[in-house]
Chains A and B, each alone.
Chain A
């Protein structure tokens, strides 16, 4: 009946221990990735190089890493605030898509405009659209107690179908030979590049600023404190009179705004138009990033960077060594599983009853 081992919570956690799960996860992913590629017939040295070192091999590749880190960083900072309040927004991908759609409306309908305010308007509309999409989940949760995990998850599919419909019909470029994509954006609707060598743009600076704001919000503001209390001790939040519904609304709206902004940055950055694919799963990868960063604004900086390396390394391996595209998803999975497993061993310790038996 009884398992031959028991797990019990660790009583004292040293601050060093909290660094173990993310580092262990990163290490697992690196070793796992190399082993995986070795099975596909690539020598370990080449595998290690292509996946994890090639992304740093040229200015262009470093730019690519920073470009991919931008949406991950933005979304993860937004999600982490909600996750700390134990509001599980799994719908950042959908919020990103809806944000991208909303942000695209201005450049599509005012395609000849030279107004320099356009990019600002796009960011605003994109954020509002992301928030609106997340608000559906918040309203259903606070009004009918509908689980926000399921609602946000299903809204992802809805957002994707909405995008397919729009790029195939109402928003399709009339001069685009019926390709399912919008007209190319005018220059005023594009983010300016940070360096001539790569595609990384000013979106990165915004994401960094958002990270600072997120840190201030979580660590220093009263609202951030209230959200956190609601997450770790709901009874204490009720005792103090912090409203649960407000925490749910805020968490989802912040997450939605960040994801919506990331969506705008994709269409106004590397894509330059609205397409059927606006994100290679950034909304889901950002969930991993948020946890890998310990739901901490500074930790998320590093986590987003590493996740971006996986994206870029996966792409390089795919292009140069004929590795399937799925390798990126597999590495992301390893990262998450590695983190979760390490978390269990950091939070709990395994006790074998026979080790307690004293030898007399």
Chain B
């Protein structure tokens, strides 16, 4: 087997590369985001780019797709040196990209959305959309309105839009992060079909299992440089992770939870219609959170996680008459805003960091004040800047936040580092209840492990934690119990023993409902 693979690789190497990056560099001021990156990509291969956050993957992709101009180095496309000034140029060369965050208009149909980027009418496009869907296993109704589509279906629309431009190379940025487990194999089938037809795929991910099952080659990046090129099928998760982060991957340790008796936070029979017309209606939600336990809320994104988090945090408030539906430590608080709930011992880490969990334009001292102002940082209405500075410094040191000191603006931090800062700040509030949405989105493997370990430590100290996450592996690692959210409904609670991938997977498509929503299972 091993020899066979070797031969395949050699035969691939002998062909002309589709895309060749030659000592590409990109600096932002003094920071070198990419340094001498050289990679060759051949037609028909699925090539993984693997690296931590901040390793320079996104910068590299943006240079290939024409969003950023390289500081130095060459991009060679089919044997010719090219300058990719803009994404339009990239598309005309035959380079397509499917972004992690979709750019679709919710109120338009699939065909109308696609016609915006292709010089053809929606009516003329419809049959071709259907045909492409058929050929690559991407079934989607061209006349459906985008807001009625599941996340998986929206991704198919993005992929079809990309395919209609007949790309020779498709860049996919963490495509599986928005999919339920059942949605991943069909996507991989599609990608393999595309590769068989000669299209090259650059697959960016930090999920090692996926890379090992899908990709023939993997380029590993660390701190802006290429540190290795391997055949991922012959590596283990541990060896890949070690190359990626440069040391052993820490695993969190845990002892069984000893939850307290009195609930720290409760939701009773809550039904809530969001103000956002495309939001998810929360239906009959019941939830009990005890001190000293971590409750994980799993689910395919877009099934009500955002709405649930905002109703727990107090960013969405209930009418006064319904205040008994949410209790913190036995106190009815449904009508209280986020600040008042904080005074009851609640802390919250939201999924958006910039603009919600932190103010991008302000420095870290000012960002510490955002939620910690009540903790002795204010005297007679005036800010005690020395105390605030001390607290910010402590947070930076405790969480190992990489930044240029406490007076660095929040927007100058990478996503992962800002997340560490926000988590650290909320922990310093010494909450009784901590709600964390997507604790490790975009956080590198090493830091993610540290954050998870910190969550478990808090649990052992008697804090009640609720973790909302799209990543099942993460919930399996930290949660003591799990509930699955589907279309705004919460499943019954599953213990660690009961929560197998199969059960959770079926719950994620509505398997816990009396009348399973059969069409939805396919839709997801």
Residues of chain A having any CB pair with chain B under 8 Å: 11-12, 216, 220-223, 225, 229, 232-233, 235-236, 238-243, 353, 356-358, 360
**Is there an interface contact between B361 and A222, defined as CB atoms closer than 8 Å?**
no
Measured in the bound complex, the distance between the Cα atoms of B425 and A240 in whole Å is 12
Asked whether any CB of chain A lies closer than 8 Å to the CB of B145, the reply is: no
Q: Which of B298-343 contact A (CB under 8 A)?
A: 313-315, 337-342
Whether the pair B383, A239 counts as a contact (CB closer than 8 A) is no
Specify which of B337, B357, B383 is in contact with A236 (CB 8 Å cutoff).
Answer: B357
Q: A239-B350, A353-B86, A356-B85 are in contact. Are A232 and B357 (CB under 8 A)?
A: no
Stretch of B134-142, B227-235, B363-371 contacting A (4+ beta carbons < 8 Å): B363-371
Cβ distance A79 to chain B, nearest Cβ, rounded Å: 20
Compute how far the CA of A289 lies from the CA of B373 in the bound complex, rounded to whole angstroms: 32
CA distance A62 to B298 in the complex (A): 71
User: Chain A residues near B383 (CB, 8 Å)?
Assistant: 220-222, 225
Contact of B382 among A222, A229, A232, A353 (CB under 8 A): A222
Interface contact B338-A239, CB-CB below 8 Å? yes
Given contacts A225-B366, A232-B361, A233-B359, contact A239 B81 (CB under 8 A): no
The reply to whether the CB of B69 lies closer than 8 angstroms to some CB of chain A is: yes
CB A226 to nearest CB in B, in angstroms, measures 8
Write out the residue numbers on chain A whose beta carbons fall within 8 Å of the beta carbon of B313. 239
Which chain B residue shows the least CB distance to A242?
B339
State the B residues within 8 Å of A (CB).
Answer: 28-29, 69, 81, 83, 85-86, 313-315, 337-342, 348, 350, 352, 355-362, 366, 369-371, 373, 378, 381-383, 385
Contacts of B371 in A (CB 8 A): 239-240
User: Whole-angstrom distance between the alpha carbons of A356 and B314 in the complex?
Assistant: 48
Closest B residue, CB atoms, query A234: B355
Taking CB atoms, residues of chain B closer than 8 Å to A223 are 381
Chain B residues with CB below 8 A from A229, complex form: 359, 362, 370
Determine if B382 and A243 form an interchain contact, defined as CB atoms under 8 angstroms apart. Answer: no
Nearest B residue to A354 via CB reads B85
Interface of A (DSSP majority class): helix
**B355 near A225: Cβ-Cβ < 8 Å:** no
Q: Which of A11, A233, A242, A356 contacts B69 (CB 8 A)?
A: A356
Question: Which residues of B sit under 8 angstroms from A238, Cβ to Cβ?
Answer: 315, 337-338
Q: Which of B348, B350, B356, B378 is A222 in contact with, Cβ under 8 Å?
A: B378
A242: B residues at CB distance < 8 A: 339
Q: List the A side residues contacting B381 at CB < 8 Å.
A: 221-223
Q: A241-B314, A358-B83, A360-B81 are in contact. Are A236 and B370 (CB under 8 A)?
A: yes
Q: Which of A216, A240, A243 has the most CB of B within 10 A?
A: A240
Q: Chain B residues with Cβ under 8 A from A356's Cβ?
A: 69, 83, 85
- Residues of A close to B355: CB separation below 8 A: 233, 235-236
Residues in B with CB closer than 8 Å to A220 are 382-383, 385
Do A239 and B369 contact each other (CB < 8 Å), given the known contacts A222-B383, A356-B69?
no
Q: How far is the CB of A245 from chain B (nearest CB, A)?
A: 11
Chain B residues with CB under 8 Å of A353's CB are 85-86
24 A-B residue contacts at CB 8 Å? A216-B382, A220-B382, A220-B385, A221-B381, A222-B378, A222-B382, A222-B383, A225-B366, A225-B373, A225-B383, A232-B359, A232-B362, A233-B361, A236-B356, A236-B357, A238-B338, A240-B338, A240-B371, A241-B341, A243-B337, A353-B85, A356-B83, A356-B85, A360-B81
Q: How far is the CB of B213 from chain A (nearest CB, A)?
A: 38
Inter-chain contacts of B358 with A (CB < 8 A): 236
A236-B359, A239-B357, A240-B370 known; 7 new pairs, CB 8 Å cut-off, are: A11-B28, A221-B383, A222-B383, A223-B381, A225-B369, A225-B383, A238-B315
- Given the complex, which residues of B lie within 8 Å of A241, measured CB to CB? 314, 337-342
Q: Which residues of A contact B339 (CB under 8 A)?
A: 240-243
In Å, the complex CA distance between A225 and B388 comes to: 13
The 10 closest A-B CB pairs, nearest first, are A241-B339, A241-B338, A235-B356, A233-B359, A241-B337, A356-B85, A222-B378, A358-B83, A240-B370, A233-B355
Complex: how many Å from CA A357 to CA B69?
Answer: 10
Distance of A90 Cα from B342 Cα, bound (Å): 36
The answer to whether B362 touches A239, judged by C-beta atoms less than 8 angstroms apart, is no
Contacting residues, chain A, for B359 (C-beta < 8 A): 229, 232-233, 236
- What is the CB-to-nearest-CB distance from A11 to chain B, in angstroms, rounded to a whole number? 7
* A147–chain B nearest beta-carbon distance, Å: 19
Asked if A239 and B342 sit within 8 Å, CB to CB, the answer is no
Query: Which residues on B sit within 8 Å (CB–CB) of A236?
Result: 355-359, 370
A245–B45 alpha-carbon span in the complex (Å)? 57
Chain A nearest CB, measured from B270 CB (Å): 20
Bound together, the chains give a CA A223 to CA B69 distance in angstroms of: 43
> Chain B residue with minimal CB distance to A11?
B28
What is the bound-complex CA distance between A304 and B361, given in angstroms?
27
Q: How far is the CB of B153 from chain A (nearest CB, A)?
A: 28
Q: Which residue of B lies closest to A222 (CB)?
A: B378
B70 nearest CB neighbor, chain A only: A358
Bound CA span A227–B81, Å: 52
Chain A: minimal CB distance from B309 (Å): 11
Q: Give the one of A216, A236, A243 with max B CB within 10 A.
A: A236
Whether the pair B338, A221 counts as a contact (CB closer than 8 A) is no
Q: How far does the Cβ of A170 sit from chain B's closest Cβ, in whole Å? A: 41
Q: How far is the CA of A239 from the CA of B83 in the complex (A)?
A: 44
A243 to B314, CA, bound (A): 12
Whether B69 and A239, one on each chain, are in contact in the complex, defined by CB atoms closer than 8 angstroms, is no
A223 to B383, CA, bound (A): 9
Min CB distance A234 to B, Å, is: 8
